[in-house]
Amino acid sequence: MPTTSALPFASTKVVGCLHILLVVAVCLLPSTALGQFAKRMLPRPGKPGININVTQTKVVRVVNDQNQPIAEAEVRVGWWEDAEGDKLLQAIFNPPITNEQGEVLIAVPQGAVRVEISATAPGYVATGTLYSLSGEPKIVLHPGQIIYVKVVDADNKPIEKAIPLLERSRVWPHEFQPVEGRPGVFVSPVVDPERRWMRVVDANGDGPARFSEMIDVRNPKNFDEQGNILAVLQPGIRLEGRLDASVPRPVTGGCVELCILEGEDHRIEANNWTWQDTTIVRADGTFTFESLPRGGHGQLVALVDGYQSKRPTAASLSTYLLENNAGEPELVTKLVERNDAFWPQLFPLPAEQDKVEVELPCMPTATARIKVVNALGQPMPGATVNLNPNGCFLGGEMFIPGMQSFTEADRLDKNTQQKSAIRAWAAETFLNVKTNDEGIAMVRCLAGDARHSFVVAADGYQLPVYPPSRKDFPSRSATLEVKPGETTLRTVTLERLRASAPRELSVLDSEGQPLVGITVVATDVALGGAEEDWNLWSVARLGEVIEATSDEGGRIQITTPLELEGQRIAKLRLFLKGNVGRDASVFGQRLEVPVTDDGRVIVLTVSAEPPRSEHALRQVLARYVRPEEAFHRSPQELLAQLIKEPSVVVLKQLLAASNFSEAIPLELEPRSSSLNLNDPSPLAVVETEQGKRVVVLCRVQSADAPVDASRPIGQMPEAAFVFDAADASFQGMVGGKTSPTGHPCNLSLTDLGPSGDYFFQVTWSEENGSFQQIQQWILVGQLDAPALTVYSHPRDPAWSADSHQVKTLSAEFGYLEYNGIARKLPREVPGWIDSGVKLPRKIFWDGTRNKFIGLVSMWVESEPAYEVDVERSSAFEPLQVSPSDLVAGGGRRSFQNWHAWDVAVPPGKPAQLQLLLVKQSEDGEVQVVKKFSDWPLASGIHFLQLQVQNGEESSTLVVQPFAVEGAIKQQFTAPPILFSTPSSVPESAVFRAGTKQLDLLRRPTKDEGVSLVWRLIQS
């Protein structure tokens, strides 16, 4: 889009004090953006590589959910972000206003690759998020509603201190503001129209709170004379409760948690109007909620010293919901699936009553006596034991007893000291319990008959990795099972917190073949600067002795310490043991290796000298050398070995021979291949238009990335290394990147159907407006530039891989199908573009033209589905289409000569689908020889299929016009069809638009001059 000086321009000022600016930025963002802001603002080392003195202009567009421009919208930049994810915050005091085309200009500083932008406009919900600067940012604002409510008492007197609470309010403390000069009238900002339910509560602070009835803001019952919603406040219902007689008096500590979650008819529904509160339990076992909204259902959980309210059975909760028409059974199902420690007991809050009395059945809690010691068994005073016993209310509201804050009741600013005391009790009881001088922590008030996870921390120490946790996702937590009324004993040994890193060693024989079963044991370490002074391994100083054995690929994986009492460790001394073949042993050989990978491998060479005695084994020489020094194999020989037996060791040798050092292969990754889903392999040999290619799929670490021992290999980026099968030359690496937010890229080797069209699909997290990910499609034979770069949503797109069905790809086309934010949509649901044209939700790959063809951007329902980054899409061709056009995408598939098309018929212009034999005369006139059939196509999206079953004398045409009302599978007989060219319609793209008439298929037959045609004709 061209930029012009007529566009409004952002006048900005970079603020030096980040802490002050952070507050300003948060205030400018809507509530929906606050969570995103908090999530993304992670501390990062270094300063942003952004130069504010050098800028270039960029157009920002603001549109509504129909993709129409919004004028008079204010646009603000929150911060700039460089390629490493470092941020430069910015304040705009005079935000630019969009013009009639919904556009403003912003000045982008040099080095910025992403920007946080927010926009506000009258009548729309404010929106702010992160955008990529590789394209033109587009902010989508959704229409909202502004709610005016007048609050009065029972005598119709205005109440000036009141809090209207709309469901899902995240603005603290007040979302609604009083209207100046209009006593008792409050106004909301522009809010999402899906937020439906509201109550108003008074905030006078005198006596029990008063509440309005539940108000449906979509269809309120009462208005005042100015048209404001009228909310009449009445006293709430008082809840007086007590713990049952099983709890000894006096009761000490603890609280009762309450949640009211309600929607239509006061039924319990997730994500609806909520009221949460916490109160103390008095010594006599009683508790009180002075005033609660009437008509709904109270959910209560009690926890005091030594006792808790009983966790009801799923059956009893289901019975309550059914008998009281209080909610759907799925509420209980979700509670069972989560299986949290605390479940609520339910009580009705009748609208006609002023008071309700309840008794909570209780049971004893459990206690855990956790002793914390160091590696020598010595007690560790001052260690912290932490448990987070979660509870869950029906409807999905999570809580930790005693730790609730920023609840709806907290907005009234009552009982603050009491609630602070409750939180302090919870912290010292189970949340953060300190060990005493004997290293013992008594963790009390745990839900009985439950399994709890816990963590322990002390300065300079950590929990060991929990043995049952997965290797790819190690957990430094532990679990314990407790019984009501009993004390569970547990001793925990902490290990020193040591800097460490993963280290991989490779063991090969003299021929370069991997050796299995060779064990290494670390016996000594040498410190940097004193590498001749070896330190004997000490468990107390270095932790568990390193011992590991080579796998079938000759790979040994260890985790090595990096420091010893603050000094850098430079080298390890290894003791080797194991057999090499049947008559040789390496027992007792020692090697010195650096703690970081330097590209060398362990080579074991069996001595040619016979053994000293009949029963002795041959000696083995162990060397730590570079592979090329030991084997002197050509790249062709290495590639042949890699194809025969894929291994990281040989891959590293090949890369070293190519002087490649940008990334370090860590582990082969067969799951990155989509070519054979039944038997995935980390290596594939594929035919491309540029020749045969060998692809190796693995996980890698960037050579310049900091070593992170806590990051499992399964969380490292996926990559592909490509070699020319003819000469073993290295063609390049694809993938292997990590996003600025720390997310590794995912890579898949797949195909789109046409012969030779194998692709790498590379995906990583990168926010850009409404989109959360970026995806690139790169041809295996053309690694220099991505064929297609698309911003989209997680789980998108689905694509048409055919290699799992056929050995030889022969399709004419492939496609990418987008659902947007929906999980799965029916095929007939269209996408749409700015002009309102509705089309198939696909980008097509044209195997003849080697082009992706589609719309630059598309919407599905009321949300953007994808956006193509045209500048980074070397093989993308935008489809030009007008509102009156017929549109068709498709052609021949790989499987059994099937053909398929997605067809869009414009509104108000139905079409006919005709299957014909035509013949062209010598003067060029085309005549219809035979009309097999026709089908009416209404406006909308249709999916059509045709199969050609060729015989020697004739062909059978199997037609399946799906989505055509009343159509059935039909068969017709025609002359044999010729497939000398791949295109279904010569010289036509697989995705195309046309007026009046559009041929889907036009292929010659054996009858001279006669062609088979499947044609769309507008009525």
In this structure, the answer to whether residues 385 and 466 fall within a common structural domain is yes
The residue written with tokens 């573009």 in the block is: 833
Question: Would residue 75 count as lying in a domain?
Answer: yes
pLDDT band at 643 (very low <50, low <70, confident <90, very high): very high
Q: Distance of CA 875 to CAs 492, 878, 888, Å?
A: 59, 10, 20
Give the DSSP H/E element, type plus range, for residue 604.
strand 601-606
pLDDT band at 58 (very low <50, low <70, confident <90, very high): confident
Indicate whether 878 pLDDT > 90: yes
Q: Distance of CA 438 to CAs 259, 382, 433, 443, 999, Å?
A: 40, 10, 14, 15, 86
pLDDT value for 409? 85
pLDDT value for 207? 79
Question: Would residue 411 count as lying in a domain?
Answer: no
pLDDT value for 437? 96
Burial class (CB in 10 A: 0-12, 13-18, 19+), 153: middle
Residues in the chain: 1019
CATH number at 279 reads 2.60.40
- Ranked by mean pLDDT, which of 537-541, 843-847, 908-912 comes out on top? 843-847
**Mean pLDDT of the 126-146 span:** 83
Indicate whether 29 pLDDT > 60: no
In this structure, the answer to whether residues 663 and 741 fall within a common structural domain is yes
pLDDT value for 410? 85
Question: Would residue 811 count as lying in a domain?
Answer: yes
Question: Would residue 21 count as lying in a domain?
Answer: no
Domain final residue, candidates 690, 711, 746: 746
Indicate whether 740 pLDDT > 80: no
Q: How many domains does the chain have?
A: 8
CA atoms within 13 A on the CB side of 994: 18
pLDDT value for 789? 95
In this structure, the answer to whether residues 647 and 739 fall within a common structural domain is yes
In this structure, the answer to whether residues 897 and 1013 fall within a common structural domain is yes
Q: How far apart are CA 2 and CA 15, in angstroms?
A: 30
Question: Would residue 624 count as lying in a domain?
Answer: yes
pLDDT value for 555? 84
Q: Distance of CA 931 to CAs 237, 892, 972, 974, Å?
A: 78, 22, 11, 11
pLDDT value for 471? 61
**Mean pLDDT of the 549-578 span:** 90
Task: Average the pLDDT over each of 281-285, 331-335, 612-616, 929-933 and give the range with the smallest value.
Answer: 612-616
**972-1005 pLDDT per residue, tens:** 888 888 887 778 898 899 999 998 899 999 988 8
In this structure, the answer to whether residues 473 and 535 fall within a common structural domain is no
Domain final residue, candidates 697, 713, 746: 746
pLDDT band at 759 (very low <50, low <70, confident <90, very high): very high
Question: Would residue 978 count as lying in a domain?
Answer: yes
**Mean pLDDT of the 892-905 span:** 86
pLDDT value for 68? 87
Question: Would residue 178 count as lying in a domain?
Answer: yes
pLDDT value for 573? 96
Task: Average the pLDDT over each of 555-564, 754-763, 828-837 and give the range with the smallest value.
Answer: 828-837
In this structure, the answer to whether residues 690 and 643 fall within a common structural domain is yes
pLDDT value for 3? 37
User: What is the DSSP secondary-structure string of 691-720?
Assistant: EEEEEEEEEEEETTSPP-TTS-GGGSPEEE
pLDDT band at 450 (very low <50, low <70, confident <90, very high): confident
pLDDT value for 712? 67
| pLDDT: which is higher, 284 or 270 | 284
Task: Average the pLDDT over each of 129-133, 590-594, 643-647 and give the range with the smallest value.
Answer: 129-133
Indicate whether 14 pLDDT > 60: no
pLDDT value for 49? 80
**694-711 pLDDT per residue, tens:** 999 999 988 766 555 556
**Mean pLDDT of the 760-777 span:** 89
Termini Cα distance of the chain:
37
pLDDT value for 39? 31
In this structure, the answer to whether residues 795 and 871 fall within a common structural domain is yes
- Ranked by mean pLDDT, which of 63-72, 521-530, 749-758, 1001-1010 comes out on top? 521-530
Percent of the chain residues topping a pLDDT of 70? 92
Smallest CA-to-CA distance from 393 within 290, 271, 483 is with 271
Indicate whether 257 pLDDT > 90: yes
| pLDDT: which is higher, 136 or 293 | 293
pLDDT value for 850? 93
CATH number at 119 reads 2.60.40.1120
Smallest CA-to-CA distance from 521 within 552, 579, 560 is with 560
**415-444 pLDDT per residue, tens:** 788 888 999 999 999 999 999 999 999 999
User: What is the DSSP secondary-structure string of 94-122?
Assistant: E--B--TTSEEEEEEEET--EEEEEEE-T
pLDDT value for 28? 33
Question: Would residue 409 count as lying in a domain?
Answer: no
pLDDT value for 126? 84
In this structure, the answer to whether residues 868 and 783 fall within a common structural domain is yes
pLDDT value for 36? 33
| pLDDT: which is higher, 660 or 704 | 660
pLDDT value for 37? 30
Query: The tokens of 524 are what?
Result: 């000594």
Smallest CA-to-CA distance from 758 within 694, 813, 688 is with 688
**Mean pLDDT of the 757-778 span:** 89
Indicate whether 963 pLDDT > 80: no
Q: How far apart are CA 890 and CA 946, in angstroms?
A: 11
In this structure, the answer to whether residues 533 and 644 fall within a common structural domain is no
Indicate whether 16 pLDDT > 70: no
pLDDT band at 661 (very low <50, low <70, confident <90, very high): confident
Task: Average the pLDDT over each of 91-95, 394-398, 753-757 and give the range with the smallest value.
Answer: 91-95
Average of per-residue pLDDT values in the chain: 86
Residue 72's CB is within 10 A of a number of other CB atoms, namely 13
Q: Please state the φ and ψ torsions of residue 45, each to the nearest 5 degrees.
A: -70, 155
In this structure, the answer to whether residues 914 and 874 fall within a common structural domain is no
3-state DSSP assignment of residue 519: strand
pLDDT value for 470? 66
Domain final residue, candidates 496, 511, 527: 496
Q: Which domain holds residue 999?
A: 882-1018
Indicate whether 599 pLDDT > 60: yes
Indicate whether 210 pLDDT > 90: yes
Percent of the chain residues topping a pLDDT of 90? 44
Strand-pairing partners, residue 1017, are 912, 997
Question: In degrees, to the nearest 5, what angle opens at C-alpha 662 toward C-alphas 876 and 43?
Answer: 85
CA atoms within 13 A on the CB side of 61: 15
**Mean pLDDT of the 662-684 span:** 85
Indicate whether 475 pLDDT > 60: yes
In this structure, the answer to whether residues 379 and 352 fall within a common structural domain is no
**Mean pLDDT of the 330-334 span:** 90
Q: How far apart are CA 602 and CA 622, in angstroms?
A: 7
In this structure, the answer to whether residues 652 and 723 fall within a common structural domain is yes
pLDDT value for 718? 93
